[in-house]
Amino acid sequence: MNLNRRDCLKWMISGASGAALSPVATLPAADSKQNSPPPPEHERRMQWWRQAKFGMFLHWGLYSLLGRDAWAMGDEDIPLQEYEQLAMQFRPLPNMAQRWARAARAAGMRYMVLTTKHHEGFCLFDSQLTDYCAPKHAASRDLVREFVEAARAEGLRVGFYYSLMDWHHPDWRKAKDDAAARGRFVDYTHGQLRELMSNYGKIDILWYDMPVPLDASGWRSEEMNRMVLQLQPDIVINNRNLLGGDFATPEQSTQAGKADWESCMTMNDTWGYTHNDNNWKSSQQLLQNLVECARDGGNYLLNVGPQPDGGIPAASLERLQTLGRWLERNGAAVYETERCSFPHGNIGVYTRKGNTLFVHIYFWPGQRMTVGGAKFKVHSARFLASGMPVKFVQRDAQLIFPELPLEPPDKPIAVIAVECDREPVQEALSSRADHPS
């Protein structure tokens, strides 16, 4: 049977306690409470997160040694005893976390989220509840502590990813049907979350993943969130323990949600380090994704899959640098922006902060560009990167830039900041049936 990694609710668990992950039972989708209201003090806790817009996701663990993505153990059915040997070879560079944090800050990211434990079950942190953790194997270091310290040193917010699914724990496979195993496993999960929330000072984000094979009551998710908030009153929590949480987590897509949301996305096609996955998105594509998240009130969590020693792959680093340089010039069009009701543009998109409209031009038209549905009055326009004024004319609902330079003044995306007399909203376009007129 083919295990479909993309769809958590189709994930199967094996009934046997054997090391291989042979699937036998489908998951219940029942009792998901993902529409439940956010936890208390949501508005207060979410302030910084809504402004931050851009974060780094890090998928790193024993699987990085294999170089075949984070799902290697599951997809290849690698026996547990064989896989565990990797823990004896995992010896990261001494300063890997500093490299990540510096790269993240230089990329214009405002927070980082690290896989403290991925589906393989190996913990990068020191745990009293298992020996299967970095400090008790070849690494001999608490890698999560190094991550926390490095992120803070660069002024970045700190996020912990934690996979609820655990291919290593003997009770995980039995948890669905065996109450005693479930009790032990869920206690283990809560216990580890307690460790993570207690031992590293202030943590800003908790990022659950893969609530397989239980439902929200099976995981005791409400109790879980209560504990987390008690230990970390300012933290924000995602929705992947099957409660609504503070924000939703569309994956590999920038599709907007009504409430707070964050799009997590790979730069190539895989989360963990993968030899020869060279299907890298271009810097322009990555920036477009970031801008479109900002337009629709979301954040962008862009993944890096470090090599086994912790080094960032050159192709990722190069893209991070391009993004960072662009954000140094154009960050005002992304950070702290608000949802923008300006959906239609043929050569670019729009973001907004207060009464300022940012016109992001993806495909430079040369000389002349027209914005449709713009009935507000424009006070001034300038290129965001250089501050150079941009000539404009308003004709009915058209805002026209008639004298643009032939070549784009900035790359990969040139931005014009337009100061308006009120919140710029795109009015009905006569050609758009979906737009009320």
Question: Which residues are near ligand GLC by CB under 6 A?
Answer: 5, 59, 70, 209, 251, 264, 271
Q: For ligand GLC, give the closer residue by CB, 272 or 324.
A: 272
What DSSP assignment string belongs to 287-346? Answer: HHHHHHHHHTTEEEEEEE---TTSPPPHHHHHHHHHHHHHHHHHGGGTTT-B-------S
CB of 323 to ligand GLC, least distance (A): 20
Distance between CA atoms of residues 183 and 298, nearest Å: 36
432's CB contacts (< 8 A; 6+ apart) are 344
CB of 331 to ligand GLC, least distance (A): 25
Q: For ligand GLC, give the closer residue by CB, 58 or 340.
A: 58
CB of 301 to ligand GLC, least distance (A): 8
Q: For ligand GLC, give the closer residue by CB, 251 or 419.
A: 251
The residue number whose beta carbon is nearest to ligand GLC equals: 264
CB of 303 to ligand GLC, least distance (A): 7
CB of 300 to ligand GLC, least distance (A): 13
- Do residues 150 and 306 lie in contact, with contact meaning Cβ atoms separated by under 8 Å? no
Distance between CA atoms of residues 19 and 119, nearest Å: 14
CB of 146 to ligand GLC, least distance (A): 21
Take residue 330 and report the two structure tokens written for it.
Answer: 């154009």
Take residue 98 and report the two structure tokens written for it.
Answer: 């500093």
Distance between CA atoms of residues 286 and 292, nearest Å: 10
Q: For ligand GLC, give the closer residue by CB, 5 or 99.
A: 5
CB of 4 to ligand GLC, least distance (A): 10
Q: What is the dihedral of CA 345, 110, 232, 100, to 10 degrees?
A: 130
Q: For ligand GLC, give the closer residue by CB, 114 or 384.
A: 114
Q: For ligand GLC, give the closer residue by CB, 277 or 381.
A: 277
Q: For ligand GLC, give the closer residue by CB, 244 or 272.
A: 272
Take residue 345 and report the two structure tokens written for it.
Answer: 């543009």
- Do residues 360 and 348 lie in contact, with contact meaning Cβ atoms separated by under 8 Å? yes
Q: For ligand GLC, give the closer residue by CB, 271 or 358.
A: 271
Distance between CA atoms of residues 288 and 413, nearest Å: 8
Q: For ligand GLC, give the closer residue by CB, 105 or 117.
A: 117
Which candidate, 381, 336, 373, places its Cα nearest to that of 354?
336
The strand pairing partners of 398, in sequence order, are 395
Q: Which amino acid is at 19?
A: A
Give the CA distances from residue 360 to residues 99, 136, 293, 422, in Å, rounded to whole numbers and listed in that order.
31, 50, 13, 19
CB of 299 to ligand GLC, least distance (A): 13
CB of 432 to ligand GLC, least distance (A): 34
What DSSP assignment string belongs to 114-153? Answer: EEEE-TT--BSS--SS-S-BGGGSTT-S-HHHHHHHHHHH
